[in-house]
Chains A and B, each alone.
Chain A
């Protein structure tokens, strides 16, 4: 009998606390500025060494030939597990995490292929809700 009253008391106590989840997309989490988000390649630094392709455990990186006659890594963000091995392996630091895990295009006109993106294009929207 007592245990049931305790159970109800716990439920009522939790009932009075504010929700932990956020109402995305109106509210966003503030993850801080050291988040391991999507990985974007800076072409000016890339030396096409293919170390990132070799180290990628999810086989998300494939190199492809581009118009300037060099090969660049293309990252399949559907496969990428955001582990950061390629960022660690990159000798020039051209691969970098951006501070964002949710990239949404609201329109086809603003859509960009990953190969066309600069790190600035994947800048996160400001979050307001703290994680804890």
Chain B
């Protein structure tokens, strides 16, 4: 096949993985996997009505179609432009950190020597947009949800930053390629297990997965910051959370699990994808395992144990870097 443009690594990264196709494919597969895994833990079958031979894989796609064709309500008392723009901005802002993360050697949209550090910061900045979205909706449930989101963000972002910092200190770089090269002997999870644990818990908090599903606690605040949205805007608003999980899993796979090692090229991309499962599968399973923490309990974990652990992880990295 003769393409009018060269099929370079950054183009593949933008269009296939970890770019557009990866994100939308992840949305479908993650929602299906979550429902299926939780159903199997509870001894049920899970969704089977649509596409039974595929095990109901097309159920999220059917739900997507149903949502697209349902009526879009823009409440009159809100700023309607911002109301419509906020979830779309949020969805794509959640995806932006992917630009700086490599899925295989050369498969990265914007190679940068501080790429992973920029990605971490971008992930943390997006929480502002969730609060902005809740604010434009002008509703008591979204207000409570936004307050909880702010509190939870304050609780997880310091440990998340420190966990990433610990790994950057250990590797001496934040370039995605050099970070993976540094793990050619031992993976980051073995070099600094404390940072890995902190990262995993902070990931659950950041994506508001189950023990920390406090901002959108359904029996308490309907859906928190996502309450007022329906139709297509709901897809963007609620999909944003899954995009965040995707980004953090990809970042975790590169930071802790050696990224595309021990292969390169297409096989490397597949290995990165498989390693993302180490973060995605527990995040899906927790829905069947845990009850929900109260906000004060979550804050105590975030500002107490998690912060102490992340500080210990940084010290561990400093010691390890000093010994070598």
Chain A residues within CB distance 8 Å of chain B: 7-8, 10-12, 14-15, 17-21, 23
Specify which chain A residues have a CB less than 8 angstroms from the CB of B39 in the assembled complex.
19
* B39, closest chain A residue (CB): A19
B290 proximal to A (CB < 8 A): yes
In the docked arrangement, what's the CA distance between A61 and B290, Å? 47
Which of B40-48, B68-76, B164-172, B311-319 has 4 or more CB atoms under 8 Å from chain A? Answer: B40-48
CB distance from A123 to the nearest CB of B (A): 28
Interface size of B by Cβ–Cβ distance < 8 Å?
14
- A7-B289, A11-B285, A15-B37 in contact; A21/B48 too (CB < 8 A)? no
264-322 of chain B: CB within 8 A of chain A: 282, 285, 288-290
Q: What distance in Å separates the Cβ of A9 from its nearest Cβ neighbour in chain B?
A: 10
Residues of B within 8 A of A19 (CB): 39-40, 43-45
Task: Give the residue of B40, B45, B285 whose beta carbon is less than 8 angstroms from that of A8.
Answer: B285
17 contacts between A and B (CB under 8 A): A7-B289, A7-B290, A10-B289, A11-B41, A11-B285, A11-B288, A12-B285, A14-B41, A15-B37, A17-B43, A19-B40, A19-B43, A19-B44, A20-B43, A21-B44, A23-B45, A23-B48
Q: How far is the CA of A11 from the CA of B44 in the complex (A)?
A: 13
Please give me the residue from chain A that is nearest to B36 by CB atom.
A15
Residues from chain A with Cβ under 8 Å of B290 in the complex: 7
Give bound CA distance, A20 to B44, whole Å: 6
Nearest CB of chain A from residue B305's CB, rounded to whole Å: 10
- Which of B37, B40, B44, B282 has its CB near the most chain A CB atoms (within 10 A)? B40
Top 4 closest pairs, chain A to chain B, by CB: A20-B43, A14-B41, A7-B289, A19-B45
Distance from A57 Cβ to chain B, minimum over Cβ atoms (Å): 34
B41-67 toward A: CB 8 Å interface, digit per residue (1/0)?
111110010000000000000000000
**What's the Cα separation between A19 and B36 when bound, in Å?**
11
The answer for the CA separation of A18 and B289 in the assembled complex, in Å, is 18
A21 touches B43 (CB 8 A): yes
Known: A8-B282, A15-B40, A21-B43; 8 extra A-B contacts, CB below 8 A, are A11-B288, A12-B285, A14-B41, A15-B285, A18-B43, A19-B43, A23-B45, A23-B48
A92 to chain B, nearest CB (A): 45
Of chain B, the residue at the smallest CB distance from A21 is B44
Docked pose: A10 CA to B182 CA in angstroms: 36
B297 CB → nearest A CB, Å: 15
